Amino acid sequence: MRLGTLVKPLLVATLLAGGMAHAAPSAQQVLAASPIDDIVAQYPAMMSQGIREGMKRSGQVPPMVAETLGHIVSSSFRAEDIERQIIADLDENLSDAQLESVRDWYETPVARKIAEAEIAASAPDSWQEVRAQASALNEKYQGTERARMFDRFDRASRATESAVDASIAVQLGMATAMAALSTDSVHYEQLRQRIEGQRSMLRGMMEQQVYDSYLYTYRHVSDQELGLYLDFLESDAGSAFSRVVTNSIQQAITEPVESVGKQMSRFLSPESPGGQ
């Protein structure tokens, strides 16, 4: 038997195996490796809670009505829809090499530790603990490297930007519903422009809340580990991933707001059986 008859099959098998070993992961696989899918799973509950608490604080509707409106919101924002939006946008905007780099980062022990901290802190009921520890954590980290790292973290992760977008979506849903209780005829686009006009003010308010959450979320993460995370977020692949995910979530939570507002308006409308 000629040597070539042995070498060629071995060479082909080696090339195929090498190709399979280095195949780029899909956007869905990258999302599954990251904590984003677990965090997105919390979004319907977070949006619902925001609407419910805002309605109760306004005092313009009975608590039972506020609870019902919260359920309307929860059923209108589907985590599966948000995930599909993210996956489609990652497929469209990230290269195979970028997807592979993101996947490789999230498979490291440091990334897993940070991901667990982010998932735990994203639970809707965790915000009470964030507020409870805010004062002590602010005092503990005042003037430290952890405090100085926040601006870098916020720029790279777009955390405040995302928080402002979510706040605007919640406020827009509330405003659309509350318009049903008013005799003034205000169109959705007018409400949107009015609330968008408050973005700068909201950013100032949200930045402190994001800082409090940052101190709480990464309180068991060392400065060195957090530095590695920031290096990833600032890298070409990490920056692209963060940008696409942020934009996708913004689009996915903003688009249903008008229809949610209309559902709530029908519920609150005086002639509606639910509003009586």
In a domain, 211, yes or no: yes
Rounded to two decimals, what is the model's pTM?
A: 0.76
Q: What is the pLDDT of residue 204?
A: 81
Q: What is the pLDDT of residue 137?
A: 97
In a domain, 152, yes or no: yes
- DSSP code of residue 185: -
In a domain, 275, yes or no: no
Ranges 1-10, 104-113, 126-135, 185-194: which has the least confidence: 1-10
At residue 203 the predicted structure's pLDDT band, cuts being 50, 70 and 90, is confident
* Domain extent for 173: 35-264
In a domain, 2, yes or no: no
The pLDDT tens digits for 3-16 are: 344 443 443 343 34
* pLDDT surpasses 80 at 45: no
- Where do the H-state alpha helices sit in the chain? 3-21, 27-33, 36-40, 43-58, 63-76, 79-93, 96-106, 109-121, 126-141, 145-148, 150-157, 159-178, 188-196, 199-217, 223-234, 236-254, 257-268
* pLDDT surpasses 90 at 244: yes
In a domain, 135, yes or no: yes
Query: Per the structure, how many domains does the chain have?
Result: 1
The pLDDT tens digits for 54-72 are: 666 766 666 776 676 666 6
What b/e sequence results for 133-157 when a residue is b if at least 16 CB atoms lie within 10 Å of its CB, and e otherwise? Answer: ebeebeeebeeeebeebbeebbebb
In a domain, 5, yes or no: no
In a domain, 234, yes or no: yes
* pLDDT surpasses 60 at 109: yes
Q: What is the pLDDT of residue 270?
A: 53
Q: What is the pLDDT of residue 151?
A: 96
In a domain, 14, yes or no: no
Judge whether 229 and 105 are in contact, CB under 8 Å. no
